[in-house]
Structure 1
């Protein structure tokens, strides 16, 4: 197991589901954190969002702008070996949202480093 962790220290998951389906609750349970623990969010380049920037990011994903999300953001919790990418409420039947996911999965599959690949889609 240590050899695997040296090659790939994180497990990267794309989580897909409807708005208010409980995706965040699942992430908290998997990472064994309470609801009070706030996630750490990084942009696609690995730059950590500040609290003010994170608030703006989260507010931009409210119900009024469903579908306008950045699936490339990387979400984790302190001490976790998981990195999550949130679909932000993909709804059935949306061609545009399906294309966003399709492009993201293809882009991640083309990465050279195993730790940058998607390891699961949940």
Structure 2
């Protein structure tokens, strides 16, 4: 198991769902943190950021942001309200999945879509 963790120290997940569906609650439960624990968010370049703010508006997101919680080995990419019905929103997901699939490093690839 240690060899696997050296190769891939994180499990990367894209979470998709409508706004206010409880995505953040799911992430908190998976990471075993309480609702008051603030996520740690990095932008696409790996810089610490605070741009993750709750939003009820569809399509207002940066799916490339990397979200984690203290002590967690999960890295999440949140669709933040992407819903069915918009060709543009579906294209954003497709592009993101393709980009992550082409990463050389296993840790940089997408491992699951919820």
TM-score by length of 2: 0.95
Deviation digits for residues 40-85 of structure 1 (CA, Å, limit 9, x no counterpart): 0000111111xxxx1xx234x6234x20310000000000000000
Superposition map of 1:62-77 within 5 A: 62-64=55-57, 66-77=58-69
The SS at the match of 1:63 is: coil
Asked if 1:84 is matched to 2:76, the reply is yes
For structure 2, list consecutive stretches of 5 or more residues without a partner in the other structure: none
Distance (Å, rounded) in 2 between the aligned partners of 1:62 and 1:90: 11
Distance (Å, rounded) in 2 between the aligned partners of 1:81 and 1:58: 19
TM-score by length of 1: 0.89
Superposition map of 1:1-122 within 5 A: 1-49=1-49, 54=50, 57-59=51-53, 62-64=55-57, 66-122=58-114
Cα RMSD, aligned residues only: 1.1
For structure 1, list consecutive stretches of 5 or more residues without a partner in the other structure: none
Name the one with the larger helix percent. Answer: 1
The SS at the match of 2:98 is: helix
Runs (4+) of structure 1 exceeding 2 A deviation are 61-64
Is contact 2:41-2:52 (8 Å) kept? no
